[in-house]
Structure 1
Amino acid sequence: MQVLRTPDEAFAGIADYPFAPHYCDLTDRVSGAALRLHYIDEGPADAAPILLMHGEPSWSYLYRNFVGPLVAAGHRVIAPDLIGFGKSDKPASRDDYTYERHVGWMSDWLTALDLKGITLFCQDWGGLIGLRLVAAFPERFARLVIANTGLPIGTGWSEGFAAWLAFSQKVETFPVGFIVNGGTTRDLTSSEIAAYEAPFPNEGFKEGARQFPTLVPITPEHASVAENIAAWQVLAGFDKPVVTCFSDKDAVTHGGERIFIERVPGAKHQPHTIVKGGGHFLQEDAPDEVVAIILDHINRG
């Protein structure tokens, strides 16, 4: 496995991201290759962690407006960059990226940090991977906040996802900043767009971002269908508190909250929220509202 690493200077000019870098060394279970995973870790080390998981094609910069308020409320805040994204290492071949490898990488990171009592906030692929972590280690999680994501088992897809899949595979140059901007209801600034593009100095660094859409198990023939079905069996018994906060302007995941409300016991009788005017990346459109949802969820026990 050839592994690329974005130079530190690529991130030097990014505003509103003052967080000290933290790194965890991983060993790929298949190839034995060494990989370095980056994460934000702010706030009291002995506090129960809030785990913020990003998706495609973003990175922990997506949570820059969450960290300060959550730390100010007394919490430890951890936001990893998935392998292939942000400041984490990036395997150079698309074939190096599979759903199960991503779950394995993040499982090894989670156990290396020995995180417990976790409040998980997950969106997009942060949910596809994060909810698999919950299923694998339910004892480590205290509560969940699920936003604009899913855990598909090969039973179909939305028109919005079909359009995204087609675009992602056909576009000659993968326009990361343009994609994130297109998933918000407000216009990102030029500096924000540049921050989303910073992890990818050239197209060779984008193989993970290119591959992610093809890995979503939307048909019975996709890999990871069986693993996600097994994960749902665990979630069907997960009775710790779960809230959803999906957006009303996200064509990809619109209505996706219903399956969690119906199937996860911990979601019963909880104050679920539809974020009005939020796009796919609701972290950009409504950071204050989402932070308040997380804090309220924690404070209710």
Structure 2
Amino acid sequence: MRILRTDEARFAGLPDYPFSPHYLEAEPGLRMHFVDEGPASAAPVLMLHGEPSWSYLYRHMIPTIAEAGYRVLAPDLIGFGKSDKPAALTDYHYDHHLAWLTRWLDTLNLTNITLVCQNWGSLLGLRLAAEHNSRFSRIIVGNGMLPTGESRLPTVFRLWKAFASRSPWFPIGRLIQLGTERTLSPAEIAAYDAPFPTSEYKAGARAFPALIPTSPEEPASVANREAWRVLEKWRKPFITCFSNGDPLTRGGDRYMQRRIPGAFGQPHITLNGGHFLQEDTPDQFARVILDALKAEMAA
């Protein structure tokens, strides 16, 4: 496996991203970066990004949660952000990502976790929570899902999958802008581009769409159905916080609310915005998280 590592200088002076870097090995020779803010002994809030973003996506939410007294952890998935980037598309598999995250989770020995996940962060996070459910206390999903290949995926996803695999032009920052209703500044777009100095650094971002299971026979479909069996018995708090302008995940919130017992009676909310609600409504999204944490303390 040929590993690429983005020069740290590319991350200098990013707007609204003052966080100190932290690293551990997801496997020997493969370094994973994560943000770790707030009291080290406090209850952890794990924020998982998706495609093709990185922990920069949560920059407006991390300080709010940390200042409220919680430990906020936001890893960069392997292939993204400040984490190392295997150079070949074939280096990326659903199970590899889960193994890398599991190694990170076990090394830090996190418990009583509040999971916040979106996009591919949900595909990985929901599996992670199902397979290590004793470590997790609640789940908050924004514009995400756990597909099993049994339902037809929307046309917009099939177009995105074809674009990611075939287009010679793959501008990360501009793609984030397409999924965001507010206008990002040139500096913000450049920040999303920062991890990827050349096209060969983008293998992880290009690989993700093809890893989503599209038929029930795929190995990931089988494992995801097993995860759903756990989620269908999940009685810990499960909250959906979707946006009203995301064609990729529309309806997924209601589907999960019907199937997951822990979703019953929870304060589910729909926010204004596009696919990346962390960019469009970060304050409101952070408030949902804090309200869920405070509800537990009141109980």
Q: Could you tell me the TM-score, scaled by structure 2's length? A: 0.97
Structure 2: distance between partners of 1:248 and 1:67: 23
Which runs of structure 2 are paired with 1:178-197 in the superposition (5 Å)? 178-197=174-193
Letter in 2 for 1:187: T
Q: Which residue of 1 aligns with 2:256?
A: 260
Structure 1: distance between partners of 2:255 and 2:101: 24
CA contact (8 A) 1:245 1:273 kept: yes
Structure 2: distance between partners of 1:96 and 1:137: 24
1:136 equivalent to 2:136? Answer no
CA contact (8 A) 2:26 2:101 kept: no
Runs of at least 5 residues in structure 2 that lack an aligned partner in the other structure: none
Letter in 2 for 1:178: R
Secondary structure of 1:23's aligned partner = strand
Q: Which residue of 2 aligns with 1:23?
A: 23
Over residues 139-187 of structure 1, what are the superposed CA-to-partner deviations in whole Å (9 max), with x where a residue is unaligned?
A: 1111110111111011220122122112222321211011100000111
How far off is 1:218 after superposition? 2.0
Secondary structure of 1:24's aligned partner = strand
How far off is 1:221 after superposition? 4.2
Structure 1: distance between partners of 2:175 and 2:192: 9
Over residues 33-80 of structure 1, what are the superposed CA-to-partner deviations in whole Å (9 max), with x where a residue is unaligned?
A: 521000000100000100000000000000110111111111110000
1:279 equivalent to 2:271? Answer no
1:290 equivalent to 2:261? Answer no
Aligned to 1:68, which of 44, 63, 81? 63
1:158 equivalent to 2:154? Answer yes
Structure 1: distance between partners of 2:161 and 2:97: 19
Which runs of structure 2 are paired with 1:41-56 in the superposition (5 Å)? 41-56=36-51
Q: Which residue of 1 aligns with 2:54?
A: 59
Identity %: 51
CA contact (8 A) 2:216 2:222 kept: no
Which runs of structure 2 are paired with 1:220-239 in the superposition (5 Å)? 220-239=216-235
Distance 1:188-1:257 versus aligned 2 partners, 3 A rule: same
Q: Which residue of 2 aligns with 1:14?
A: 14
Q: Which residue of 2 aligns with 1:147?
A: 142
Letter in 2 for 1:20: S
Runs of at least 5 residues in structure 1 that lack an aligned partner in the other structure: 28-32
CA RMSD of aligned residues (A): 0.9
